[in-house]
Amino acid sequence: MAEVTSPVVDDKPCFKTNPGIFKLGLARQHILAHDIGQGSQCRNESTCKCEGLDLHFWRKMCKNCGCRMDEHDVVLPNEFDHAQIVIGRLFGVKEHFEKVLTKPGMYKPTDQNDENNMMSRRSQPTAVYNYKMSSSDSESEKDAPTIKKDKVQYAWAPLPDKDLVSRYMKCLPEDERPLVGSKGEQNRKSRLQFQLPLYDCNVEDARFVEEKDVKTLQKFVENVRNNVIGVGRVVEIGKDSDNYGDDSNDFEKSMNAALKGLQVGETDCKDCSKIMKNGEIGVECHHHTKTDTYHPNCFRCETCRQLLVDNIYFFYKNKYYCGRHYADQLYPRCAGCDELIFANEYTFAEEKSWHFDHFACFKCDFKLGGSRYMTRDENPFCLDCYMKHYAKTCDTCQAKIGPDEKRLNYNEIHWHAEEKCFQCVQCHSNLIGKKFILKNHKLLCSSQCKANYNSSHPDDQL
Residue whose CB is less far from Zn ion, 127 or 382: 382
The closest alpha carbon to 333, from 223, 227, 192, 197, belongs to 197
Using rule CB under 5 A, residue 449 touches Zn ion = yes
The answer to whether the CB of 67 falls within 8 A of the CB of 48 is yes
Using rule CB under 5 A, residue 155 touches Zn ion = no
Checking phi first, is residue 66 left (phi over 0); if not, alpha (psi -120 to 50) or beta? left
Using rule CB under 5 A, residue 358 touches Zn ion = yes
Among 301, 308, 391, 408, binds Zn ion (CB under 5 A): 301
The amino acid that residue 392 corresponds to is: K
The amino acid that residue 365 corresponds to is: D
Using rule CB under 5 A, residue 159 touches Zn ion = no
The closest alpha carbon to 91, from 113, 75, 63, belongs to 113
Could you count the other beta carbons within 10 Å of the beta carbon of residue 57? 12
**DSSP letter string over 375-414?**
EETTEEEEHHHHHHHTPPBPTTT--B--TTS-EEEETTEE
Using rule CB under 5 A, residue 203 touches Zn ion = no
Q: Give the interface segment with Zn ion, choosing from 105-113, 216-224, 226-234, 293-301 (CB under 5 A).
A: 293-301
Using rule CB under 5 A, residue 432 touches Zn ion = no
In the complex, least distance from residue 310 CB atom to Zn ion, rounded to whole angstroms: 14
* Per-residue contact string for residues 375-394; x = within reach of Zn ion by CB under 5 A: -------x--x--------x
Q: Which of residues 121-140 bind Zn ion (CB under 5 A)?
A: none
Among 427, 434, 435, 441, binds Zn ion (CB under 5 A): 427
Rounded Cα distance, 294 and 320, in Å: 11
Using rule CB under 5 A, residue 438 touches Zn ion = no
Using rule CB under 5 A, residue 295 touches Zn ion = yes
The closest alpha carbon to 442, from 413, 406, 407, belongs to 413
Q: Give the interface segment with Zn ion, choosing from 3-11, 34-42, 73-81, 307-315 (CB under 5 A).
A: 34-42
Among 334, 340, 391, 443, binds Zn ion (CB under 5 A): 334
Among 303, 375, 379, 430, binds Zn ion (CB under 5 A): 303
Rounded Cα distance, 345 and 355, in Å: 8
Phi, psi of 17 (to 5 degrees): -115, 130
Which residues form the interface with Zn ion (CB under 5 A)?
Answer: 42, 44, 48, 50, 62, 64-65, 67, 269, 271-272, 295, 298, 301, 303-304, 322, 325, 334, 336-337, 355, 358, 361, 363-364, 366, 382, 385, 394, 396-397, 416, 421, 424, 426-427, 445, 449
